Amino acid sequence: MEITRNVILLFLSNIFLSQVPVESNLIQNKLENILNNNVTTRFTRIVGGSNAAVAQFPHAAALFLFLKTGESFCGGSIIHDQYILTAAHCLDDILRIEVQAGTLNIFQGVPRYRETVQPSHTRQHHQYDSDTLRNDIGLIYLMRPIPFSPAIRPIALPSRVTATSTFQGMLTTVIGWGRFEDAKQSLSDTLQFVRLPIVQDRQCTTVYNQFYNFFDTRTNICASGSHARSTCNGDSGGSMTIDTNGRPTLIGIVSFGSSTCEGGLPVAMTRVTAYLDWIAANSLVRC
């Protein structure tokens, strides 16, 4: 049976690259592009989360993005005093980035630990495809090292012995300043965190591969969303971590999911273990 244009449009309107949109008509334009050119949509994504405490997630970086089409926002993870790891789609069409580290509330005055740093340049994965969301990982190179403090510290990367691990059934922590409910159009003032379990890949492939193979089991991790807890608009590039012997370890980067934050659909993360060689080759980080 032929699938109508409206049915496809309705389905794809629920798929997003969790980056904050700058203009509402951009969403419709992107959806039209999907139908005409197989281009994926740029939307935005923590629902049901809790406020983080000062220095609870010292690796968190707030990325203020200045684009050709306006302003946007993403998250990132400090992995070295000169490198921020984020989603590649956060680095599309950027003119300038402002990186804030040690930030808890992004709209308050300068707190005790905040550091604002300008990047020297950025790098998207050489095989990143904005049409399919494959290899959705990128690096931000900073002009100067970020001084570490109790509220600013790098996150550990996974060891190579976990490269083939599925992490299924593990409970993760995902953070971000994204929208905390569908009705809210603005970002959360305060950094949020939510606990999400990793589920079987088929839960994501069932949802996101109906019309196109967005979810790649080799390079993505599937996290369970619920009607009460999930990621939402503005959380793109943020971290998914697990506890490894009492130390948080970065295993995922928020990539894409449902534009209906409270819809209960699963969330796709970039699988960090798949990119340890790329990170090592493009930075001073040993992994």
Hey, which residues are catalytic here? 89, 136, 236
Residue 251's φ and ψ, nearest 5 degrees, are: -115, -15
Q: How far, in Å, CA of 94 to CA of 254, rounded?
A: 19
Q: Write the Ramachandran bin of 200: left for phi over 0, alpha for psi from -120 to 50, otherwise beta.
A: beta
Helix/strand/coil for 281: helix
User: Taking phi first (over 0 means left), then psi (-120 to 50 degrees means alpha), and beta for anything else, what does residue 208 get?
Assistant: alpha
Grouping H, G, I as helix, E, B as strand and the rest as coil, residue 84 is: strand
What span, in angstroms and rounded, lies between the C-alpha atoms of 234 and 6? 27
Runs of H (alpha helix) within 153-222: 202-208
- The token pair at 241 is 């971590």
Token pair 């953070």 is found at 175
CA 71 – CA 64 distance, rounded (Å): 8
Helix axis angle, 5-12 relative to 24-37, nearest 10°? 130
> Alpha-carbon distance 92 to 76, whole Å?
15
